[in-house]
Amino acid sequence: MTFKVSTAKSNSELVLALDLVCQVFFSRANVTQEIFRSHKELDWHNFEFFEKDSVVVAKDFNKVVGVIRIVYRVFHIEGEVYKTAGFTDVCVNDKYRGKGISRIMMEYANNVANTKCDICLLFASKSVDYYYNRYGFWGVSTFNKVIIKNQIFKSNTCFQSAINQNLDYFDYLYNKKYSNLNGFMERTAKYWGYILEKCQQLKIKFKAIVVNNRVCGYCIYKDNIIYEISYNSSVDIKDILAHFKTYHEVLMEIDEQHYAVSQLNLLDVTLCSRSCIFGGHMIKILNTEGDLDVKDTLDFIKVKNKSINFSKFNQF
């Protein structure tokens, strides 16, 4: 068989690529095929970073048999700004596996990324542990979590559903409170709109924190898990915890340097982290002579023995 790898050249190729992604990944989802496709369509078509060279396809004549989608972002580590190519929706048609298509696509996508970015980033599932190391990707995230034994707190805040009119202020708070953390990614108004719609799709709560009829922050959560939170000086973390009083524990997926952690004094708190160089949140340094090993990768981004986290809503 002869395969051709290139970026998608037409809308019809994009549709075929999306069809393959839905076919390959639907079996891992806990939703109907129709709902799963609607989720992917939002990621593909309403996502502002979708560019002409964003989808790499492998073709057997006119049949798309492999896909890599490239998401262009800007993220910060240790005060440095990196133009980033995120690789996602990496898949090959079941009938074409074992023929080296993934390797050819990865090499092609890497060459595309080299022309405009400093780093490649991907979020790998556990099922492909060790796989991406062969392409120079290394797991760098410390997966920090804060577990709080909840108490009964009183609060002068209320939660209201976030709306588009809130998003500019949320962006201000996000930049103010997250920009000093490793793994911070820049967002635009359109990206905030994407987050709002994505939360609705996934039945994740995106709430404005309100004090005396004024919006003072936001909280993104599901059940007792807080994915992202930011608020101004009129709010304390205990005001937030009061809204989770039905749960014995509250889990916050935030960096240990997040300012909310400093407000947890005198509470029963457990800080957790883990490292995984062979999977998870993985990066590759571009424009180098040969692939770097994990030590040189960490040295390059200056995060050795330091935490680095990617918010759920900065993943792709």
172 and 233 together in one domain? yes
Determine the pLDDT at residue 148: 97
Both structure tokens of 277: 């160089």
pLDDT tens series, the chain, 316 aa? 678 999 998 889 999 999 999 999 998 888 889 999 999 999 987 655 556 678 999 999 989 999 999 999 999 999 999 999 999 999 999 999 999 999 999 999 999 999 999 999 999 988 899 999 999 999 999 999 999 999 888 899 999 999 999 999 999 999 999 999 999 999 999 999 999 999 999 999 999 999 999 999 999 999 999 999 999 999 999 999 999 999 999 999 999 999 999 999 889 999 999 889 999 999 999 999 889 999 999 899 987 667 899 889 888 8
Work out the number of other CB atoms within 10 angstroms of the CB of residue 136: 21
Name the strands in the sheet holding 249-252, side by side, starting at the edge strand that comes first in the sequence.
157-161, 205-211, 214-222, 225-231, 249-252, 145-149, 269-272
Number of domains composing the chain:
2
Determine the pLDDT at residue 48: 54
129 and 23 together in one domain? yes
DSSP 173-238: HHHHHHTTSTTEE---HHHHHHHHHHHHHHT-EEEEEEETTEEEEEEEEETTEEEEEEE-TT--HH
Determine the pLDDT at residue 40: 93
161 and 256 together in one domain? yes
97 and 160 together in one domain? no
Determine the pLDDT at residue 85: 95
d(CA 1, CA 96): 10
d(CA 23, CA 94): 10
Which domain range does residue 43 map to? Answer: 4-140+276-314
234 and 296 together in one domain? no
Determine the pLDDT at residue 306: 77
258 and 280 together in one domain? no
183 and 308 together in one domain? no
pTM of the model: 0.93
How many residues does this entry show for the chain? 316
Note the helical H segments in the chain. 11-25, 33-45, 101-114, 167-178, 189-202, 237-241, 294-301
* CATH number of the domain residue 134 falls in: 3.40.630.30
223 and 241 together in one domain? yes
174 and 149 together in one domain? yes
230 and 265 together in one domain? yes
135 and 282 together in one domain? yes
107 and 222 together in one domain? no
Handedness of CA 274, 258, 42, 13 (dihedral sign): negative
